[in-house]
Structure 1
Amino acid sequence: MKIIVLGSGVVGVTSAWYLAQAGHEVTVVDRQPEAGLETSFANAGQVSPGYSSPWAGPGVPFKALKWLLMKYRPFVFWPMPDPHLWKWLVQMLENCNTPAYDRNKGRMVRIAEYSRDVMRDLRASTGITYDDRQQGTLQVFRTQKQMDGIAGDIRVLEQYNVPYELLGRADCVKAEPGLGVSAHKIVGGLRLPGDETGDAFLFTQRLAAKAAEAGVTFHYDTRIRTMTAEGGRITGVETSRGRMVADAYVVSLGSYSPAMVRSLGLDLPIYPVKGYSLTADIINEKQAPVSTIMDETFKIGITRLGNRVRIGGTAELAGFSTSLRAPRRETLEHSVTDLFPGGGDIAGARFWTGLRPMTPDGTPIIGRTRYDNLFLNTGHGTLGWTMACGSGKVLADIMSGRMPDIPHEDLGIVRYGQ
């Protein structure tokens, strides 16, 4: 089958890879000059199945108000007359209850755990490297209230047999010796030893190269204008290179996916949630992280990537703005210098922002649409890197007529009544 994949981020490239491995003729189309240049470029670097949680949960609306008043805010909201934003916010609020949180977290952990296993198989079969480490993730709590509030998350971890460790302050320092100088600022942590880290951009670039060697065609510098349909099927894609046709089509355009399918009558509940990161060179090994640390107070991830440290976080609702805002840099700098003072060259760090494609329930949209030959693999939010390989494999199985290895029916657009 001839398949066109729209988008060359980490989700689009993994989709193309697994479709090619299943024997399909695959073409990837993207407006950028190479793979992984948008949201995949400088994300937090975590492959963290155990921390796969929806942002919508009990008490989140009240927490969001509190976050808005913090000096170093993990959440920023710019009200705009955008009907898509307000509809998305209402849908998200509808998921801010315990039954919805448990259901959504269960879905997310399921695909994320599977994705990590698929990624391990990919590493073994291809030898791909991407500044990857397999040394777990440590979520650190600055208050006892934070530590006492994780019972629900632990319940889901146990349900899916995800190994975890509850650590006191001293054991946190054993796991991450660089925390030694700031140990008095934390009370304990939750460690997930099965989690991993790695550079999503490096992975995407190297997997794209392997996919090209396996026969995948990449059309970069190509603007995708519209999709055409007739009789319940997609008939082609209009691009700056002309019309492209295939037997089947995959939309993996992240935050831009809804606009691409809106003219087809599909209403994807995806909205961009802007995130920021810093990438700093390590200047003191002893005061740098070994793997990933999640700062629960500021919702910041601090990740070791080779001889660099990546600091990522912040949820900003600002439409499709990609402007770099100085206060967001200050929040990232505060978190890393507070926990790992002197570890990295923070003054010389590279500042970046990207648009995370977020669904109201936190779960990506993977699978079929009402068009026979149109498929979706999008809406992964902050977890595109964590879920990419598993999502690509599930999609390839669905499109190839094979039963995926995990339950997948509740991952599709049908859960939104479409």
Structure 2
Amino acid sequence: MKIIVLGSGVIGTTSAYFLAKAGHEVTVIDRQPAAGMETSYGNAGEISPGYATPWAGPGVPAKAVKWLLMKHSPLVVRARFDPDMWSWMLQMLANCNHKSYEINKRRMVRIAEYSRDVLKQLRADTGITYDDRAMGTLQLFRTQKQLDAAATDIAVLQQSGVPYNVLDPKGCELAEPALAKVRGSFVGGLQLPGDETGDCFKFTQKLAEMAKELGVKFRHEVTIENLVTEGDRIVGVKTSKGELKADHYVLALGSYSPFLLRRIGIKIPVYPVKGYSITVPITDASGAPESTVMDETYKVAITRLGDRIRVGGTAELTGFDLTLRQARRETLEHSVTSLFPQGGDVSRAEFWCGLRPNTPDGTPIVGPTPYRNLFLNTGHGTLGWTMSCGSARVTADILSGRQPDISLEGLFMDRYGSINKPVQVPSGIVVAA
């Protein structure tokens, strides 16, 4: 079966790889000169199923007001006349309650845990390396209020069977020895030992090469212009290099997915939330993190990637603006230097930003559409790296007529109601609760 994958970020590339492993003839189209050049390039480096948490949660609106008043705010909203932005924000606010939070977090943890398992198997099968470590995540709390608030997350982790450890300050220092240098600046932490770290860009580039060995064709520097429809099927993709045809199509264009879908009558609530990172060369390994430390105060992830520290964070609602703003760099520098002051040289850091494709409920959109041969794999937000292999494997299974290993409940686009025509679930695929 011929399949065209639209997009060659980590989501599109993993989709192409697993589709090729399933025996399909796959072509990937992307406007960039190589795989993983946009949002996958400089993300925080976390593979964190234990930290798979929707941004929409109880108390978030009140927290957001407080964050907006902070100097080093984890949230920045640049108000603009953009109906999509305001619609997305209203839907997110509608999910800021206990019931929705628990439902959404369970869905996210389900696919994130599965994705980590698929990645482990991929690593065992191929030997792929990408500055990877399997030493867990430490969610670090600077205040007792933050530590107390972790009870909600812990309850969901327990229900989902995700291992965790609640640590006192000494336990945090045992997990991350360099934190002993800033003793007294935190009150405790939540350790998620099943989490991993790694360079998403290195992974994506290497997996693209492995996909090519399986016969996948990557057509780079090709602009996707439109999808050609005929009844309830896609019959081609109009591009800057002509029209391309296949039997099935997988759309993995991240934040840009809604633009293409809107032209064929599909609306999905995926909106870009801009994130920033700095990549800091390590100057003193003993003063650097061993794995990932999530600074809960600033919502910044500090991750060890080989001889570098990746510091990623900030949620900036500003549409598709990719301006690098110095104030966001200062927030990242403040977080890493306050916890790992001797680890690296921030003056030599690479500064980057990317657009995370967020859904208002946090769960990605994976699966069928109203068109029988068009499938989505998008909306992963900050967890594209974490969920990539699992989402790709689910996508490949559905297109191959195999029942995926996890429940598909809540993953399809129809969870947002009847704004679109009904999705066309392939014969034999069961959406189990």
Match of 1:102 in 2: 102
- Separation in 2 of the partners of 1:375 and 1:395? 8
Report the RMSD for the aligned CA atoms in angstroms: 0.5
- Separation in 1 of the partners of 2:261 and 2:193? 40
- Separation in 2 of the partners of 1:222 and 1:397? 27
Match of 2:280 in 1: 280
Work out whether 1:123 is the aligned partner of 2:160: no
Q: Report the alpha carbon displacement of residue 409 of structure 1 after superposing the two structures with TM.
A: 3.3
User: What amino acid is aligned across from residue 73 of structure 1 in structure 2?
Assistant: S
- Separation in 2 of the partners of 1:54 and 1:180? 31
Work out whether 1:190 is the aligned partner of 2:190: yes
Match of 1:154 in 2: 154
CA displacement 1:195-232 (0-9 Å, x = unmatched): 00000000000000000011000000000001110111
- What secondary structure, in the 3-state scheme, does the structure 1 residue paired with 2:347 have? coil
- Separation in 2 of the partners of 1:17 and 1:53? 27
- What secondary structure, in the 3-state scheme, does the structure 1 residue paired with 2:298 have? coil
Work out whether 1:238 is the aligned partner of 2:271: no
- Separation in 1 of the partners of 2:345 and 2:40? 23
Match of 2:424 in 1: none
User: What amino acid is aligned across from residue 12 of structure 1 in structure 2?
Assistant: G
- Separation in 2 of the partners of 1:416 and 1:265? 15
Work out whether 1:26 is the aligned partner of 2:26: yes
CA displacement 1:180-200 (0-9 Å, x = unmatched): 111210000000111000000
Matching of residues 50-199 of structure 1 within 5 Å: 50-199=50-199
CA displacement 1:256-293 (0-9 Å, x = unmatched): 00001101110010000000000011001111000000
Match of 2:215 in 1: 215
- Separation in 2 of the partners of 1:34 and 1:294? 30
Match of 1:258 in 2: 258
CA displacement 1:49-93 (0-9 Å, x = unmatched): 000000001111111010000010100000110111111111111
- Separation in 2 of the partners of 1:88 and 1:15? 27
- Separation in 2 of the partners of 1:368 and 1:172? 43
- Separation in 1 of the partners of 2:409 and 2:375? 13
- Separation in 2 of the partners of 1:362 and 1:341? 33
TM-score (norm 2): 0.96
Match of 1:385 in 2: 385
Q: Report the alpha carbon displacement of residue 352 of structure 1 after superposing the two structures with TM.
A: 0.2
Question: After TM superposition, which residue ranges in structure 1, 4 or more long, deviate above 4 angstroms?
Answer: none
Q: Report the alpha carbon displacement of residue 345 of structure 1 after superposing the two structures with TM.
A: 1.1
User: What amino acid is aligned across from residue 384 of structure 1 in structure 2?
Assistant: G
User: What amino acid is aligned across from residue 404 of structure 1 in structure 2?
Assistant: P
Match of 1:374 in 2: 374
Identity of aligned residues (%): 64
Match of 2:427 in 1: none
CA displacement 1:240-264 (0-9 Å, x = unmatched): 1100000000100000000011011
- Separation in 2 of the partners of 1:140 and 1:94? 28
CA displacement 1:4-32 (0-9 Å, x = unmatched): 00000000000001111111100000000
Match of 1:301 in 2: 301
- Separation in 1 of the partners of 2:143 and 2:118? 36
- Separation in 1 of the partners of 2:286 and 2:409? 47
Match of 1:319 in 2: 319
- Separation in 2 of the partners of 1:373 and 1:409? 20
Match of 2:338 in 1: 338
Q: Report the alpha carbon displacement of residue 367 of structure 1 after superposing the two structures with TM.
A: 0.1
Consecutive unaligned residues of structure 2, counting only runs of 5 or more, are 421-433
User: What amino acid is aligned across from residue 37 of structure 1 in structure 2?
Assistant: M
User: What amino acid is aligned across from residue 211 of structure 2 in structure 1?
Assistant: A
The count of aligned residue pairs is: 418
Q: Report the alpha carbon displacement of residue 152 of structure 1 after superposing the two structures with TM.
A: 1.1
Q: Report the alpha carbon displacement of residue 361 of structure 1 after superposing the two structures with TM.
A: 0.2
- Separation in 1 of the partners of 2:129 and 2:214? 18
Consecutive unaligned residues of structure 1, counting only runs of 5 or more, are none
- Separation in 1 of the partners of 2:412 and 2:201? 26
- What secondary structure, in the 3-state scheme, does the structure 2 residue paired with 1:279 have? strand
Q: Report the alpha carbon displacement of residue 416 of structure 1 after superposing the two structures with TM.
A: 1.1
Q: Report the alpha carbon displacement of residue 104 of structure 1 after superposing the two structures with TM.
A: 0.2
- Separation in 2 of the partners of 1:180 and 1:150? 23
CA displacement 1:132-187 (0-9 Å, x = unmatched): 00001101100011001111111111111111100000110011011111121000
Q: Report the alpha carbon displacement of residue 99 of structure 1 after superposing the two structures with TM.
A: 0.3
